Amino acid sequence: MRARAHLTVERDPRGRTVVREMRSMAPLRLVPTRSSRQGPALVHLVSAVTAPLGGDDLELHVRVGPGAALELRGVAATLALPGQHPGRSRALVHVELAEGASLAYLPEPTVVTARACHEAVFRARMAEDARLRMREILVLGRVNERSGSLDTTVDVRRGGAVKTPVIKQTTRLGTPEVDESPAGLAGRRVLGTELLCWGDDLPGAVSGDWWSLVPLANGGSLTTAVADDAVTVEHALDAAFARHPGSGDPSDSISYSIPSDGSHG
């Protein structure tokens, strides 16, 4: 299966973020929810069919215009499954953030099932004053199941014509000897990360039980957490975000209502 989905949001003359373009393609279904006041627009990413399967090639392209704010959330965990024929699945999320734009990308966990072979790429190109919050939670196998293999890459650059790398990191999971080692996941089966290019950063690293929040060399911060279950990792990422200076911005709050017409795009 090959699918491409596109989402563009912009700021209207009243200062509200509105959906200007939205094109879904199964299994990538975008469901907008209209905001009832100024603040981020809320769009949910829903999987219309079981995906990704081996051989699937999925892409989601997101553009947030100048001064616009978007929260893009998942509604259910993603299961990476083997296909009928050999071959890896691939999922790419490509983001463009204009001047003063803001995106919180908060999908639900990805579960890498036995015999699956999956590649996930998150790529963002953002203006110097744009903001990005990107969360990823990876679960190695279902309960009492060995994990398949997963390569996940985060590639974020920020600036003007010449963009400075914020982070380019590839994580490879699914090899038991590595995952169980102290240099890997120390035997835990869930890994969570959250990239924060969200205003000011802390002057130094902070940590808690099996999580750390570390400022990056070119701005931004990265939280890493491991645990035996996804709920614990989510709580750890929330705890780390609460320690970040940008977590108290009142403009991040969302108030919304169900759209009454089809004017969202």
pLDDT at 71: 97
pLDDT at 204: 97
Mean pLDDT, residues 102-119: 96
Least confident residue range of 58-67, 165-174, 255-264: 255-264
pLDDT at 254: 43
Mean pLDDT, residues 55-71: 97
Closest of 56, 73, 175 to residue 134, by C-alpha: 73
Of 120 and 254, the one with more pLDDT = 120
Residue 64: pLDDT band (50, 70, 90) is very high
With H, G, I as helix, E, B as strand and everything else as coil, classify residue 194.
Answer: strand
Enter the tokens of residue 122.
């998150």
Residue 161: pLDDT band (50, 70, 90) is confident
